[in-house]
Every structure is written in structure tokens, then in C-alpha cells.
């Protein structure tokens, strides 16, 4: 911020020094000086310039703001925000709300920054373009083109998000107040580490724990800040054996995963700012199985959101996924039939102990071009076999039939990994008013917008965002549940 007086140009700056914010000023380009503190309080700052100007204010967040008196006629408010480098790690993330109550989300996924519209599902990865400015391309991960930009500014210490497409501003909103803190909890051999995001205020708030899909998983969902803006506390954590969470491996039984989830629920139950009567689980893909099991094990779980989870056993679901993958790749029906026979033998052997058929088919098909596509033939002592022995036959349907808590079960129209048509039919056959089954149109397994069935991970670079009905359905259902 620079103010021009009759003879004393004044520049005020905010900077980091020794891991704290410092307000300094320059007059006539001379060496910077720090503002004086008031009553020994570092946040209260005061300056009287040689030209008679008086600045008095406070430091809060990344902003120095207050009142100034320049002369007898000129006075008013001032606000100076620290100018951040265009680094994803330095940008305030969370939900931003416009004057018309539209909510957008700025989220950090690993080292990348994403912006998304929770109404339309539109989403883009951002790349640095200057101080507090980022550009985005024509699709989710497009790095070659610039079709729009994002700018972060501060007004009164509150971050403001502006999204521009071409020459037109498509969103402007302020950061929704929220509080985040690191949390730790334990189950069996694992120390599980995550983040709890809370709405501003005293609570108690309803809460939702975000579970994980298959494989190693870190963090939560890029859109979860929207739930915090809607009044829910959200707990996300790194899966056991992944990221910051400890354990010898990420592979475990569904029973262990369910107990991990319940350890998170127990942590929330003990907090005065959480409504213990309204704690639920969000289970994507494999996490849907885990959420059903956790709810069956404990009455502390009061609702479930299940996404892209089959009512078939994990072994049957995986066979479907691999067969669909081969079909997308253009393999013949004969090749797919041979692959399915081998996959069934691979999943059956760890439980039955009969490795003969598995070895026979592995030797017969080792040279087939589809063989590596379905994971090949791991040695008998490979950890993957133990995982399938523990979990491959898990049947979610009895748990779904017995559940009495509210369940939102989301299926995707173009799910290449889970037989969504079978799941929808199975759920319709359950005469239970507590289960709301919704098929999200034009969505893939990850609920990204899709026009046909495809491999979700391979389609990400050209994706345009989430299927519009996905987030709208979750937020609407949760609002009614409150």
C-alpha cells in the first residue's frame, strides 16, 4: 500500500520474519522500519510519520488494518494484505460464498491446487501466474492453454476468491469462516492422523468422517469444504500405512478398516463442539463396504453416504471391473471369458487353499496379452492374496437389509468399476425407507462427468469436473438430515 502526501510518499508492507508477520513502512524510499507496538501487544500497531500522518491498527491473519488521519481533512480506513507468492501451499483453501449464496471450493490435493463450483461440478487444476494469481485450462488437468484465471485478494483480513473466464468474471466470493486442526487417534497397530474442519462458532455441529477407496489413500475429498460451509464438521484422515498414518501396510481386513473408522467416531463423540447424535460416515467405493460394517458394529454411526459401491462381493465386483477394462481396451469376448476364469481362480485360491487351478490357468495364459492387464499371477505368499482371503467374500447386502439408519447410496451411470445396474436393482428390492438410492447421470466411478463408460483415471486429464448432480444430491440430503 502506498500513500502519496505532499512530500512524503509512504509505503506499508507485510512480510514474514522469523515465522511471524511484521508490518514495516518506508518513507521517501529510505530503509524500512517496523511499526511500534501498543502496550506491548504485537498485534496492535501505531505510526506517526514526519509529515503528520497517523496510522493506528491491528494485525490479524495476513492483514494489517485500522484507521488513518492524513491531515485535518483526509482520514479513513486502511487495509494492507500480505502479498503471497503464487504457491499452492501459501493460498488459503476452503469454501467461498458469493453474495447470491453460491459456493465454490479452493482445495489442495498434494502439491496441486484446484478450484471447483459445487453447483455445476465444474473444476480445474490451477497453475501459478503471479502473486496470488493462477491460470487454468480448458479441462481439469489442461496445462497447455489458458482460458481463465483465479485471483486471491484480502478485504478486512478475509480472503476473497475471484474466478474469471476470458473477459468475464464468473464468480466472486469470500472465504467462509472455518477452523481446522490436526487430529490423531489409534486402532490396533496404527496411529491415524488427519484433519478436522469445523464451521465457525461454538457448535455442537453434526459431523461426517470421510473414509477411503482401495489402495493407499491420503487426505479427504476436494469438495469437502462445501460441507463445512453447510454447517458440518468434516474429519478426513490418511489411511493406515499411508501418508502420515502409521501401520506396517495399508492392506487390512474390512473389520480393521471399520474399527479405524469407529476410532474416528469415538474421537468426535468426546468433543463438546460435536453433536454425538449426528455423526455419520462417507464411504467411497471400497469405503462403502467399510462404512456398512462400521455402522453394523456400532450404534454411534447415525447415517451413511455410500458412493460407487457394489452390492456384489468385492471379488465379484473386481471381476466385473477387470472384464469392463478389457472390453474398453478392445479385447475379444473369448479373451475376456478366459481372463474372467483366471481371475475367479485367483480370488478363490487364498480362501480355499486350492492353488492347483490358479497355477494351471496362470501357466496356460501367462503369454496372453491380457495377462498383465488383470494383475498377472502373484506368488502364493504375496500380500494381495491375504487381502482377498480376508475380504473377497464380504457380502454387503445383509448389512444393507438390516440397517435402520438413514443411508444415501449413490451409483454412477457410467461406472466401469462397479456394476451399478445390479446395485440399483438390489437396493430397489430392499423394502426399506431409510435407504435413498440415486443413480447419478453421466458420471463415472469417481463421479466425474462422463459421456460414456471409460477408465476413470485415464479420463481425468480431459475431464471437466464432477457430474453436476453428485454434489447437489449430497448437500441437499445432508441439509434435510440436519
In 10 A of CB 167, how many CB atoms?
6
**What is the domain partition of the chain in residue ranges?**
2-81, 88-175, 178-313+394-481, 314-391
Q: Between 234 and 45, whose confidence is greater?
A: 234
Q: How far is CA 372 from the centre of its chain?
A: 31
Q: What is the pLDDT of residue 51?
A: 53
The phi and psi torsions of 105 (rounded to 5 degrees) equal -125, 135
Closest CA to 192 of 152, 149, 236: 236
pLDDT in tens, 5-35: 333 444 454 444 444 444 555 444 455 555 5
Give DSSP secondary structure letters for 234-253: EEEEPPTTSTT---S-S---
In 10 A of CB 354, how many CB atoms?
12
pLDDT in tens, 170-188: 999 999 999 999 999 999 9
**Residue 448 has what DSSP assignment?**
B
Mean pLDDT of all residues in 123-137: 93
Mean pLDDT of all residues in 266-291: 97
Give DSSP secondary structure letters for 402-443: H--S-EEEEEETT-SSS-HHHHHHHHHTS--TTEEEEEETTB
pLDDT in tens, 414-443: 999 999 999 999 999 998 899 999 999 999
Report the distance separating Cα 295 and Cα 149, nearest Å. Answer: 43
pLDDT in tens, 290-312: 999 999 999 999 999 999 999 99
CATH class, 88-175 region: mainly beta
CATH architecture designation of domain 178-313+394-481: 3-Layer(aba) Sandwich (3.40)
The pLDDT > 70 percentage for the chain reads 81
Residues 6+ apart with CB under 8 A from 361: 341, 342, 345
pLDDT in tens, 37-90: 444 444 444 455 555 566 666 655 445 566 666 666 666 665 554 444 445 557
Amino acid at each position: 500500500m502506498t500513500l502519496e502526501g505532499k512530500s512524503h510518499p509512504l509505503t506499508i508492507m507485510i512480510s514474514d520474519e522469523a515465522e511471524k508477520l511484521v508490518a514495516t513502512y518506508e518513507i521517501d524510499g529510505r530503509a524500512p522500519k517496523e511499526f511500534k507496538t501498543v502496550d506491548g501487544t504485537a498485534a496492535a500497531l501505531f505510526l506517526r510519520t514526519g509529515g503528520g500522518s497517523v496510522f493506528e491498527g491491528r494485525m490479524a491473519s495476513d492483514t494489517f488494518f485500522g484507521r488513518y488521519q492524513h491531515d485535518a481533512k483526509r482520514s479513513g480506513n486502511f487495509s494492507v494484505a500480505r502479498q503471497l507468492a503464487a504457491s499452492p501451499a501459501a493460498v488459503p483453501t476452503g469454501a467461498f460464498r458469493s453474495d447470491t449464496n453460491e459456493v465454490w471450493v479452493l482445495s489442495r490435493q498434494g502439491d496441486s491446487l484446484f478450484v471447483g463450483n459445487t453447483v455445476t461440478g465444474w473444476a480445474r487444476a490451477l497453475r501459478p501466474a503471479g502473486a496470488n494469481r493462477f491460470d487454468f485450462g480448458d479441462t481439469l488437468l489442461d496445462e497447455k492453454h489458458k482460458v481463465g484465471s483465479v485471483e486471491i485478494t484480502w478485504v478486512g483480513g478475509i480472503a476473497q476468491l475471484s474466478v474469471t473466464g476470458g473477459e468475464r468474471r464468473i464468480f466472486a466470493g469470500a472465504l467462509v469462516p472455518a477452523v481446522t486442526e490436526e487430529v490423531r487417534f489409534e486402532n490396533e497397530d496404527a496411529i491415524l492422523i488427519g484433519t478436522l474442519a469445523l464451521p465457525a462458532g461454538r457448535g455442537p455441529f453434526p459431523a461426517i468422517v470421510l473414509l477411503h477407496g482401495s489402495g493407499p489413500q491420503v487426505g479427504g475429498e476436494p469438495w469437502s469444504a462445501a460441507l463445512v460451509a453447510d454447517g458440518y464438521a468434516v474429519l478426513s484422515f490418511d489411511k493406515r500405512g499411508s501418508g502420515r498414518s502409521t501401520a506396517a501396510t495399508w492392506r487390512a481386513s474390512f473389520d480393521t478398516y471399520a474399527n479405524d473408522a469407529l476410532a474416528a467416531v469415538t474421537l468426535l463423540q468426546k468433543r463438546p463442539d460435536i453433536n454425538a447424535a449426528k455423526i455419520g460416515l462417507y464411504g467411497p467405493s471400497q469405503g462403502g463396504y467399510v462404512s456398512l460394517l462400521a455402522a453394523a458394529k456400532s450404534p454411534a454411526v447415525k447415517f451413511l453416504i455410500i458412493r460407487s459401491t457394489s452390492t456384489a462381493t468385492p471379488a465379484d465386483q473386481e471381476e466385473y471391473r477387470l472384464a469392463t477394462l478389457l472390453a474398453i481396451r478392445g479385447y475379444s469376448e473369448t479373451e475376456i471369458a478366459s481372463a474372467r476364469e483366471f481371475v475367479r481362480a485367483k480370488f478363490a485360491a487364498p480362501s480355499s487353499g486350492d492353488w492347483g487351478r490358479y497355477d494351471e490357468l496362470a501357466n496356460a495364459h501367462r503369454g496372453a496379452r491380457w495377462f498383465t492387464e488383470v494383475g498377472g499371477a502373484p506368488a502364493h505368499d504375496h500380500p494381495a492374496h491375504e487381502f482377498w482371503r480376508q475380504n473377497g467374500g464380504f457380502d454387503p447386502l445383509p448389512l444393507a437389509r438390516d440397517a435402520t439408519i438413514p443411508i444415501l447410496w449413490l451409483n454412477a451411470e457410467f461406472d466401469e468399476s462397479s456394476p451399478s445396474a445390479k446395485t440399483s436393482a438390489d437396493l430397489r428390492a430392499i423394502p426399506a425407507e431409510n435407504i435413498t438410492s440415486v443413480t447419478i447421470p453421466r458420471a463415472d466411478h469417481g463421479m466425474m462427468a462422463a459421456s460414456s463408460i471409460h477408465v476413470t483415471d485415464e479420463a481425468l486429464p480431459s475431464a471437466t469436473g464432477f457430474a453436476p448432480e453428485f454434489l447437489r444430491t449430497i448437500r441437499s440430503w445432508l441439509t434435510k438430515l440436519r
